[in-house]
Amino acid sequence: MRYVPRELQSQLQKAAKSFPAVVLTGPRRAGKTYLLRHLFPKASYYLLEEPDTTARFRADPQGFLDSVRTPVILDEIQNVPEIFNYVRSRIDRAPRSVGQWLLTGSQEAGLMRNVSESMAGRAAILQLWPMSLRETPKVTLLRGGYPEVLGRPSAGSLWFGSYLQTYLERDVRSISAVQNLSTFRRFMGLVAARHGQVLNKSDIAAPLGMSVPAIGRWLDILEATAQILIVPPFFENLGKRLIKSPKVYIADSGLACHLLGIETQRELAKSPFLSTLLEGFVAAEIVKAQTCSGWRRQLYFFRDEQGLEVDFVVPRKSGVRLIEVKASATPTPGMTRPMQRLVSAWKQQRRRGPVEMVLVHQPRRAPQTSTAIAPGVQALAWPDFVKQPV
């Protein structure tokens, strides 16, 4: 697959001109290494998953770094976390030299601990997700956004199977002492079956015969390796009881389809998971847009115990954006009622700031003559919505 410009590259280049080190996190095979080697072709490169390389470093850390020509890409640095202290000392010797240390990792939680302890103020931290529809039209609900799947879609099922095996062997075992990888694979399937639902750990624990705390630790592994999106509830003082548990989504829709056994567009169209898969796809695209713009991730959902629910709430600098996602090519005014009811409740509480309401739906063959669907609500097919500013 030829190089496709990534939205994050401008933020990455800006960071490399401002900080001595740049830490690029994200799930395996999202394109971190390819992006760095394309943007910094003169940088030397070391993969810290190779046994010879890690052995050389651990045998003589200072000698290894003395032999490194900067700028340098140190790939999958979570495998040798002790390297952060040595890199920090070299940065402190020449604090004005920027863009010299380009570090990647697939385990965000562990990396963040090391960065906060050793590299505070010395490193910019960025996250790269699989590709977005804004980057290439090859991204679809069925395929997702992993570059290698988009390059060879006919081998997508084989790729995802191999990816899961690699992920389990490398990341899961390195983060936690998970003994039974087949049970963890079943756990991922159960999470996929609850894609887009309010998280109930007991509901996942029971079929596996595990404790709720153990399921919580396994969910932390999926989140630390960017395999899931946890979307928290949006709290407003509306004088009513609100749902406090988050929603969970498999971060890449292609991986979610694979875990659910959906292999063709025909199967996807008939799947009972179509609605939640589209919802998760929209959630991931919002997060990708926020990340690539250099903004803090802000994505929530709203649900109260009386049944009022809005799929997504996105705070903005001024006001808020409400998003309802429907797996229908025929949007109707009735689909907008949850958003309108929530806005009405906010008005009674004298909430300030403008509220934008968007109904996201399936694309249709006939051209859309108008996006207005109800007072104050815009209806957009999901490919059009994704291309809008977040």
- 97 and 152 co-located in one domain: no
Please give the pLDDT value at position 236.
65
Please give the pLDDT value at position 196.
96
- 232 and 334 co-located in one domain: yes
CATH number at residue 250: 1.10.10.10
Please give the pLDDT value at position 302.
93
Is the overall model pTM greater than 0.75, yes or no? yes
CATH number at residue 95: 3.40.50.300
Angle at 226 between CA 317 and CA 253, to 5 degrees: 90
Please give the pLDDT value at position 330.
92
Please give the pLDDT value at position 295.
85
Low-confidence ranges of the chain (pLDDT < 70): 1, 107-114, 116, 177, 236-241, 349-352, 367-370
Please give the pLDDT value at position 238.
52
- 241 and 102 co-located in one domain: no
Count of domains observed in the chain: 2
Q: Is residue 3 part of a domain?
A: no
Check: CB of residue 371 under 8 Å from CB of residue 379. yes
Please give the pLDDT value at position 241.
63
Separation of alpha carbons 275 and 75, rounded Å = 37
- 106 and 167 co-located in one domain: no
Please give the pLDDT value at position 171.
80
Q: Which residue range is the domain that position 20 belongs to?
A: 9-127
- 348 and 263 co-located in one domain: yes
Please give the pLDDT value at position 78.
85
Please give the pLDDT value at position 292.
92
